[in-house]
Structure 1
Amino acid sequence: MSNDSSITLQFSVEREDYIKLFSHSPVIRKLKWFVTFANLVTGILVYVAMQFVEVIFLGNEFKIFNGELMTYSLILFIIFCIYTYRKLRTKTLNRANENFNDIYEGRSYTIEYNIEAAEFLIGNRRRRVPVDSQMEIVKTKRYYFFYWGKSMGRNIFPIPIYGSNDYMNKIDKIMEYIYKEGKVKTRELDE
């Protein structure tokens, strides 16, 4: 510890763990729901368009639940989902790799938790990230993932849960202070 009012941690981060941090962020999770909803709306619009073609151009009788058209629409919905999820995954991986290269690669990373101000001071520039209602913490087997706000910028960071006894004591103390604040959303991630 640097003094009584702050706790300092120094560690390195693995690329695959940072990619996991990035991929499980609240923004990406919301984006996945949005993509699913957009694909569902697209599937419904395709069904309506095929119904229109069926009735107007082919002169067939109008049926609200046309089995063939529903099957085609469902297949298209699945294809849209597979395509958009792959695109989203590729873009997420590319962005995560870029961020990792900029922030963590080949460097030891320093995070300080200021007890009095209830905030993290991150990196050499000591960027301030407050522990408040905008923060979400996700616990995995190897890391605590911290997300602050709605952006995907540098206000997301991991803290490893493994290390020396001194390091583990510091993490326990930090998490104790954070939980005492009671403002942070937390969840566990099964890997």
Structure 2
Amino acid sequence: MNKDTSITLQYSVEKEDYIKLFSHSPVIRKLKWFVTFATLFTGVLIYVTMQLTDVLYYGNKIRIFNEKLIIFSLIVFIIFCIYTFRKSRRKILNQANENYKDIYEGRSFTIEYDIEAAEFLVGNRRKRVPVDSQLEIFKTKKSYFFYWRKSLEGKIFLVPAYGSNEYMNKLDKIFEYIYKEGKVKTRELDK
């Protein structure tokens, strides 16, 4: 690619930044919502099951607000919530660590912004990430997180928000071109 039509950034990625990038990705956010709703549904299911057990096994009358069942179901629900959220957080962290080792650890990462095509070429495989309405950029104190598409086929990468003067000039130029396209806005992640 012609140096006049592209801007190349090369940098290393810190593990904590990648874990934060991965944890805030659209797919993981959807997964967290799914786990939350599944847990709430399971809580209601536990209460209904206990209510049916009380009626069928003990022959008691149906009471919607059975205090003992509510307390017992709430305790089981809280234990289930703690277990589920810890397990899902652990799985997310394990996957983030594994991805970091495969993609970033001990390597220099390169992105190239093609000015004419208005797209990023990411990593050694030069995966194309167009600057369009499907691209979301989040700014943290230390990095910019780029998320393209909200599906499993989406691409994520990060760019440090600090560096040498040459690096910062290149980064400013990239954002100048991105904002010129007018399809992408940057949002703050840390408030």
TM-score normalised over the length of structure 1: 0.91
Identity %: 73
- Single out whichever of 131-140 and 106-115 deviates more from structure 2: 131-140
Q: How many residues align?
A: 190
Deviation per CA, 1:103-131, whole angstroms, max 9, x where unpaired?
11111111011112111011222221111
- Single out whichever of 175-184 and 141-150 deviates more from structure 2: 175-184
- Say if 1:142 and 1:162, in contact at 8 Å, map to a contact too: yes
- How far did 1:154 drift? 7.9
Deviation per CA, 1:69-96, whole angstroms, max 9, x where unpaired?
2222222222222111111111111111
- How far did 1:180 drift? 2.8
**Counterpart residue number, 1:74:** 74
Q: State the one-letter code of the partner of 2:41.
A: V
- Single out whichever of 32-41 and 117-126 deviates more from structure 2: 117-126
Unaligned segments of structure 2, at least 5 residues = none
Distance (Å, rounded) in 1 between the aligned partners of 2:104 and 2:153? 14
Alignment of 1:69-108 (within 5 A): 69-108=69-108
Alignment of 1:76-155 (within 5 A): 76-151=76-151, 155=155
- Say if 1:149 and 1:155, in contact at 8 Å, map to a contact too: yes
**Counterpart residue number, 1:182:** 182
Counterpart of 2:33 in 1: which secondary structure? helix
- Single out whichever of 147-156 and 20-29 deviates more from structure 2: 147-156
- Say if 1:5 and 1:115, in contact at 8 Å, map to a contact too: yes
- How far did 1:13 drift? 0.5
CA RMSD, 1 decimal? 1.9
- Single out whichever of 141-150 and 173-182 deviates more from structure 2: 173-182
- Say if 1:133 and 1:185, in contact at 8 Å, map to a contact too: no
Distance (Å, rounded) in 2 between the aligned partners of 1:101 and 1:151? 23
Counterpart of 2:4 in 1: which secondary structure? coil
- Say if 1:47 and 1:69, in contact at 8 Å, map to a contact too: yes
Distance (Å, rounded) in 2 between the aligned partners of 1:114 and 1:124? 15
Counterpart of 2:48 in 1: which secondary structure? helix
**Counterpart residue number, 2:36:** 36
Deviation per CA, 1:19-38, whole angstroms, max 9, x where unpaired?
11111111111111110100
TM-score normalised over the length of structure 2: 0.91
Distance (Å, rounded) in 2 between the aligned partners of 1:167 and 1:185? 21
